[in-house]
Amino acid sequence: MPEAQALKSKEYETIYILRSDVDADTADKVQGRVAEVVARDNGKLVKVESWGRRKLAYPVGKQKKGVYIYVKYVGKGGLVQELERNLKLQDSVLKFQTVLTNKDVDVASVAVDPEEVKFQRLELPAEEEEKESREKALGLVDFGDGPRSMRGERSEDDYGDDIPGEEAGAEEPAAATGAKEGGEEEG
């Protein structure tokens, strides 16, 4: 029975978040480190996905956005500790989390699609470009003239000094001055 347990591994998912201002070379360095650690500890990468730049639930180290990377792999328990130790050493990694998805996996029986385990070159638009394109997609920008004015906003020219029905020096209406003059009392 101990021999059968020696062949079994566990399946894990790790999501790590890179700084939003990370350049492609730094992201490649982190991705290379992840692949190296998994291979060195006799693990096997199953799937790798880049989820792109997303807003964080709360600021982490003055960062409000981050680049999310998902990695699914198979290996022994020591692999997780080594991978997390390496992620902690990377300055560009804000956060990471590993989850055990399957306790009893035979590494030899795991089918891996070579396209799913390739780390893709991380090419993100600059945050300013991303914001501008989002505004254009929502129709908030008119042909490069800048952001549209909000509905209901008026310019200073829209507010005139004259109000219809009021003239300079006109008396206030009787309701506003207190129409109870002339000795009428309430009873």
Q: What six digits make up the tokens of 32?
A: 């290379």
Whether 112 is in a domain gets the answer yes
Q: What six digits make up the tokens of 48?
A: 């790798």
Whether 68 is in a domain gets the answer yes
CATH number at residue 63: 3.30.70.60
Whether 70 is in a domain gets the answer yes
DSSP string, 96-112: EEEEEEEEEEEGGG---
Whether 44 is in a domain gets the answer yes
Q: What six digits make up the tokens of 107?
A: 């590494």
Whether 115 is in a domain gets the answer yes
Q: Half-sphere exposure of 50 toward its Cβ, with a 13 Å CA cutoff?
A: 18
- C-alpha closest to that of 17 among 86, 79, 70: 70
Radius of gyration of the chain (CA): 32
Give the total number of structural domains in the chain: 1
pLDDT tens for the chain, residues 1 to 187: 454 445 578 999 999 999 999 988 999 999 999 999 999 998 889 899 989 899 999 999 899 999 999 999 999 878 999 999 999 999 999 999 999 998 988 777 776 666 656 666 666 656 555 556 666 666 665 555 555 555 555 556 555 555 566 555 555 555 555 555 555 555 5
Whether 116 is in a domain gets the answer yes
- C-alpha closest to that of 70 among 108, 99, 42: 99
Its domain, for residue 32, covers 2-121
Whether 11 is in a domain gets the answer yes
9 touches 105 (CB < 8 A): yes
Question: Is the pTM of the predicted complex or chain greater than 0.95?
Answer: no
Q: Give the whole-angstrom CA distance, residue 72 versus residue 70.
A: 7
Whether 140 is in a domain gets the answer no
H-helix or E-strand spanning residue 70: strand 63-75
